[in-house]
Chains A and B, each alone.
Chain A
Amino acid sequence: MERIKSIKQLQDLEATLAAARKSDRPVVTVCGGIGCTANGCQKLVAEFKKLISEKNLGDKVELLVTGCLGFCEMGPVVVVYPQKTFYKKVQVADAADILDSAISGKAVERLLYTDAEGKKIEKEDDIPFYKNQKRELTGILGVIDPESIESYLAAGGYQALAKVLSGMKPEDVINDIIKSGLRGRGGGGFPTGKKWESCRKAADKLGASKRYVICNADEGDPGAFMDEAVLQGNPHTVIEGMLIGAFAIGSDEGIVYVRNEYPLAIKSLSAALAQAREAGLLGKNILGTDFSFDIRINRGGGAFVCGESSALIASIEGFVGEPRAKHIHMAESGLNDKPTVLNNVETWANVPLIIKNGVAAFTAIGTGDVTENPWNGSKGTKIFSLAGKVNNTGLVEVPMGATLRDIIFGVGGGIKNGKKFKAVQTGGPSGGCIPEKYLDMPVDFDELSKVGSMMGSGGMVVLDEDSCMVDFAKYFVEFLCEESCGKCTTCREGLARLKEILTRITEGKGRADDLELIEAVCETLSQGSLCALGGSAANPVLSTLRHFREEYEAHIFQKKCPGKVCKKLIKFSINDNCTGCTVCAKNCPQNCISGARKEKHVIDSAKCIKCGVCKEVCKFGAVTVE
């Protein structure tokens, strides 16, 4: 698009563009997010395009390809406006019907979402998954085209920047961010405004002219994709946030450190950067002011630990992504020893929102009272990546302070297959496990750490009654053991030893004093390690030990796995319900089930590998696990 020459011109642009883009035509939005792309939405888009041109429907419907709509497991997802009709698992063959119905206004029944009671729901906003969210940051993903800066501008994009550049002083911006109570979404929950303030002050004191702002888009959490979705679906909001941060601390150079495994996000961001430059929103003398700033992309080193701030800096500097001790803050000496502000993707995305809608609108959402001190609460929303044994999984955004129950049962629609909830892991691999008794706890930074977990970047894995907490802790320890950079003894060896102890416990070889040994290793691991990976790596173990100690004890002393997961501790057998239907015997990979037709079958435990197939296939509930 043409270069925007002044602040005034930018301010007028929203209205003009919105008017120009407004049409009475229904809009068929196809999710072009990562999940739906994996599910083949590109073919669907092609089909829509083909049909529209073949049938000459160009002036009757509009096609829009967006970023992730959040309900990825229903993908490919299509939403038709103005009714906001939600279609799930749309196939190429469905395209024609959707186009017809978009024009006629009558929904395609067979593609509608069906709730737990079997009721069909037409509108996106009525689907519990969406109804129970507060989509301040993610809502816009459904209405803009990630590839078009005009689309973002028409939705009010870059107006926060306009506001900042038309008379706000850097200190005013910093103050607003402090007053908003915004805390870092990447892990620690450090107040963003305070971080900016200390950087600005340190840099001014040092007389440093070079300062950096960095966006952390490394997102190493397995299964998490909040940052990827925002970066891919709305790259301009991250750019706008960084522009505002750069103005606040006085920086002219920004870097987005993005995971190499995110090609779609990188593509989207690269295109957005080029467009922003062309529009004069990045580069020298932005909008004719004397503020200059540009952003470049740095591809990540590909390890979980590279998301840690000092490892990330090392990696950008061209060294191995290995953490370094940081007794001197980045605000003073970060990238290339220059004052640096590092924030997470979601943190940056919140910045334009706060500036544009005002501090009060932001503080109206969330917990605590941050007027005096941003540490006194958690404001705004948080995006989680909800996964595990819940009915609805995907990207969910809720107000800070929503309870775990709101998220898991409201948005998530409860536990799969009518099973019982057991625990939820928040905060990713180095987060903690929270048991049922805290389901009504409001989710915010401080409440989560009180129960031994953390917000982390927003991973949320739900476990049902069939899970073993020792096995679960072991899984994360194994992950962290692989992902530790291996520099320090406490983390490298500590995790390896925890793995060893947990393995022997799950194999029924646990020793009487193993729990004390675990606690001793955990103390040294969490307090004696160099970086926060080691520092938080004990969380999954300590939190399960704290909330499910009896389960550890059952493994060690009774040699039993209460969740019936640990293979060495369980035994499959067939009870009197058996009708002798032979189905299990036919399916057993070990051929270790015998019995005549119509007679009770028996399992040869010596050969059984405890794969669970027999239990799954038996229609009579005759296979039991002890």
Chain B
Amino acid sequence: MTEAKVNNAPMVEFIVDGKKCSAPRESSLLDFLLANGYDIPYLCHNPAVKPYGACRLCLVEVKNGRKTKLTTSCNYPILEGIEVFTNTEKVRRNRKMVMELLLARAPESKELRQMAKDRFGIDADKLPFEKNNGNKCILCGLCVRVCRELVGIEALSFAGRGEHKEAISPFHDVASTCIGCGACAVACPTNCIGLDQVITKRSLARWNRELPMKTCKRCGYAYAPMFQLEHFQNISSVPADFFDLCPDCRK
């Protein structure tokens, strides 16, 4: 099915909170709103990867034709003539519920608790639900998607469904194809991947991965995971000894 086709898309006109706007047809509504200073909470979106629509926090109301519907904005393709409402009572009420649901799932995430407090005035210790202790992952899928779409490696995947869904390394085992680039850890909104580096070893706790680092032949600095460099070597045409030196010594 279609992902937004944005290249060379014609500009279309639409309305946001009563104001006339224009943007390329079928581009992400959330990207537009964020770029234009609208304050929309979101967790699973990253312009570097395709919209996914998992966290449901970026809700807005959109009127298309006769119907007005609550919808997530990250994966809503901007269409001619739509009318967007970013801050109605209904939008606020439902975003707040989404936040509470997320918190109940991952009460241990500092990032989430902070966001809930700052943006929604929610006290994570006073939820109407039982808490799922011991969990930080909100299943936003950014790790899986970044690894696949951006890094070009499929080291991670989802497993299970419903409540049992998880973002994991294959069979909870070592993510053996992971090159240790760390992109997933940077993208993770709840900081639950556990990227760590001790001198010549980088580790990603969540993926059970430990990677030896390449040491610069000149200065001795452990500057990047070996696997990552091998991967770069394979997909580029740099000379065989290119990665012997760290970027600084290469200059």
Residue numbers of A with Cβ under 8 A of B are 303, 305, 310, 313-314, 320, 324-328, 330, 332-335, 337, 481-490, 492-497, 500, 513, 517, 520-521, 523-524, 527-530
Contact = CB atoms under 8 A, between A and B. Distances in A.
A528 B98 contact: yes
B163 A492 contact: yes
B54 A493 contact: no
B143 interface: no
B102 A493 contact: yes
Given A327-B76, A330-B1, A334-B1, A483 B54 contact: no
A216 to B, nearest CB: 15
A485 B162 contact: yes
18 contacts: A305-B161, A327-B75, A334-B1, A485-B161, A485-B165, A486-B164, A487-B54, A487-B139, A489-B98, A490-B101, A492-B162, A492-B163, A517-B128, A524-B56, A527-B69, A527-B94, A528-B72, A528-B98
A328 B77 CA distance: 8
B129 A326 contact: no
A320 B160 CA distance: 11
Interface in B81-123: 93-94, 97-98, 101-102, 104-105
Nearest to B82: A327
B97 A486 contact: no
Contact of B1 (A313, A494, A495): A313
Contacts of A528: 56, 59, 70, 72, 94, 97-98
B147 interface: no
Contacts of B138: 489
Given A486-B161, A488-B56, A493 B1 contact: no
B72 A325 contact: yes
Contact of A529 (B1, B52, B56): B56
Contact of A328 (B2, B93, B101): B2
A490 B141 CA distance: 15
Interface string B125-145: 000111000000011010000
Nearest to A526: B70
A169 B138 CA distance: 53
Contacts of B97: 520-521, 523-524, 528
A484 B165 CA distance: 10
A484 B98 contact: no
A521 B94 CA distance: 9
A489 B105 CA distance: 9
A482 B162 contact: yes
B193 interface: no
B162 A494 contact: no
Counting from the closest, the 8 A-B pairs by CB-CB distance are A486-B165, A493-B101, A333-B2, A524-B97, A325-B75, A484-B162, A527-B70, A486-B161
B195 interface: no
A489 B55 contact: yes
B102 A489 contact: yes
B142 to A, nearest CB: 13
Contact of B72 (A334, A482, A492, A530): A530
Nearest to B77: A327
Contacts of B69: 527
Contacts of A330: 1
A335 B1 CA distance: 6
Contact of A497 (B129, B158, B165): B129
A496 to B, nearest CB: 5
B163 A481 contact: yes
Interface string B176-201: 00000000000000000000000000
A489 B54 contact: yes
Interface of B: 1-2, 26, 51-57, 59, 69-70, 72, 75-77, 79, 93-94, 97-98, 101-102, 104-105, 128-130, 138-139, 141, 158, 160-165
Contact of B101 (A333, A497, A523): A497
Contacts of A529: 56
Contacts of A481: 162-163
B160 A328 contact: no
Nearest to B101: A493
Nearest to A500: B130
Nearest to B2: A333
Contacts of B79: 327
A488 B1 contact: no
B26 to A, nearest CB: 8
A483 B161 CA distance: 7
Contacts of A523: 93-94, 97
Nearest to A326: B1
A493 B162 contact: no
Given A485-B161, A500-B130, A528-B59, A325 B76 contact: yes
B72 A486 contact: no
Contacts of B75: 325, 327
Nearest to A530: B53
- Most chain A CB within 10 A, of B1, B139, B158, B165, is at B1
A318 to B, nearest CB: 13
A522 to B, nearest CB: 10
Contacts of A497: 101, 104, 129
A524 B94 CA distance: 6
A26 B55 CA distance: 65
A333 B1 CA distance: 6
B33 to A, nearest CB: 16
A486 B160 contact: yes
- Most chain B CB within 10 A, of A481, A486, A521, is at A486
Contacts of A483: 161-162
B2 A495 contact: no
